[in-house]
Structure 1
Amino acid sequence: MSTSRPERTGERVDWGAVSDLPPSAKLVAKALEHEGQLTQTGLADETLLPARTVRYALSRLEDAGVVHSRVAFTDARKRVYTLAGE
């Protein structure tokens, strides 16, 4: 099990950092890779996962250092998620 932060090579994340994470976390990471940045609602819509599953996947991805979040400029009640290093 890798505990190091994922390395960025060019525009891609080293997926070895997420290899031990649940499939939902991998799907969320791939959606972020494809879309660039999304809110939790956007991720739920894009992945067709329940909101609770998306929240869990994001927490696992943040713990692994794969995603970062920031407050959305358009609505300060929401957070926008991106892959680390973008």
Structure 2
Amino acid sequence: MSTTTEDMSASPFAQEDFRERLRELPPSAKLVAKVLEDDAPLSQGQLAETSLLPDRTVRYALNRLEESELVDSRYSFTDARKQVYFLTA
């Protein structure tokens, strides 16, 4: 499967600044970011299910990603009690 330059530019992973900030984070945060690259927006529970990480580890990873301003959240349109997460560009 080949990717075009256009496909790569759409991903925050293609941005050097994003990659540098992500490089400093633990492996769990990197995995959560990678899952969000493919399937955002996702809730914390969906992230845990997709990444196969425990809820507590996903919560920690999301906190670290938010502190680094790599991930943002909003309330879900389908269930306003839940927040969904997505990568910032």
TM value normalised by structure 1: 0.84
Q: What is the alpha-carbon root mean square deviation over aligned residues?
A: 1.2
Do structure 1's residue 69 and structure 2's residue 73 form an aligned pair?
yes
Partner SS, residue 50 of structure 2: helix
Q: How many residues align?
A: 77
**Structure 2 unpaired stretches of 5+:** 1-7, 13-17
Return the structure number with greater strand share.
1
**Identity between Structure 1 and Structure 2 (%):** 53
For residues 41 and 15 of structure 1, what CA distance do their matches in structure 2 show?
25
| 1:15-26 equivalent positions in 2, closer than 5 A | 15-26=19-30
* Structure 2 counterpart of 1:57, one-letter code: A
**Per-residue CA distance 1:24-79 (angstroms, 9 max, x = gap):** 00000000001121100110000000000000000000000101100011111100
Large movers: runs of 4+ above 3 Å? none
**AA in 1 matched with 2:9:** G
Which has the higher Rg, Structure 1 or Structure 2?
2
Determine the C-alpha separation between the residues in 2 that align with 1:34 and 1:17. Answer: 19
Tell me the SS of whatever aligns to 2:29. Answer: helix
- Residue 32 of structure 2 aligns with an amino acid whose one-letter code is V
